Amino acid sequence: MIKKYKHIIWDWNGTILNDVELCVELINWLSHKRSLPLIDIEKYRSVFTIPVKNYYAVLGFDFEKESFEQLGKIWMDEYERRKYECNLYNGVIELLNKIEKLGIGQSILSAYSQHTLNELVDHYRLKKYFTHVVGLDNIYAASKMHLGKDLMKHLGNGKGETLLIGDTVHDFEVASEIGADCVLISSGHQSKKILLECGVKVCDSILELL
């Protein structure tokens, strides 16, 4: 399937980087301090969404008491402190190598902040695989739609020549908007049930794509 594309656009968090358990741990840490109910991974995957602010609201955070900007900063500071606890998903390196050997270009398109995205890509020694590494200029994970449009202009690919691999409905929405095909992975931040509603191929893991 992948062989027919000129370029693969990868999401980062939940697609290449397995940070789901850390994200659940950190949202529970915030919730516990505010006497809100704690959640497990299954519940997390059923409520997580982008923009992230909406999922905080579903979990009961009161933005009149504490702004989303304050909460997001607290969460991200702790994530930054612990980000190297995360690992890459099984099969990622093998798939990146396979795509590279096919002569297909690869990029990262993320709602993660650009500075930290660069740090992590360097840390895991992945920079050599990607012609573009594109993240947001802030920490609040609102949308990466505009970044996707800019990236497609740089790539100059026509319809059916680009594939986006992600783990959220937002990845599907971005792919649809920028004219890319899409495959979603259900081992990331949203449940398979939610992803299947997008009407595109949903894999249980990166290993399935291999």
39, 68, 85 — which closes off a domain? 85
Q: What is the DSSP letter of 26?
A: H
Could you tell me the CATH number of the domain that includes residue 114?
Answer: 3.40.50.1000
Average pLDDT, the chain: 92
62 and 160 both lie in a single domain: no
Dihedral sign computed on CA atoms, order 158, 163, 169, 174: negative
d(CA 20, CA 151) in angstroms, rounded, equals: 26
Please give the chain's pLDDT, 210 residues, in tens. 788 999 999 999 999 999 999 999 999 999 999 999 999 999 999 999 988 889 999 999 999 999 999 998 999 899 999 999 999 999 999 999 999 999 999 999 998 888 889 999 999 999 999 999 998 764 444 457 788 888 888 887 767 899 999 999 999 999 999 999 999 999 999 999 999 999 999 999 999 988
- pTM score of the predicted model: 0.92
Residue with tokens 């402190």: 81
Q: Which residues pair with 7 in a beta bridge?
A: 105, 162
What is the total count of domains within the chain?
2
Does residue 6 sit in the same domain as residue 80? no
Q: Range of 164's domain?
A: 2-18+88-209
46 and 75 together in one domain:
yes
The C-alpha atoms of residue 131 and residue 88 are separated, in whole angstroms, by 19
pLDDT of residue 46: 96
pLDDT digits (tens, 9 = 90+) for 92-143: 999 999 999 999 999 999 988 888 899 999 999 999 999 999 987 644 444 5
Same domain as 37, residue 9:
no
One domain, residues 78 and 37: yes
Q: Which amino acid is at 203?
A: C
Residues 6+ apart with CB under 8 A from 112: 12, 13, 135, 136, 141
For the chain, the straight-line distance linking the first and the last C-alpha, in angstroms and rounded, comes to: 10
pLDDT at residue 143, rounded to an integer: 56
Quick one: 113 and 175 in the same domain? yes
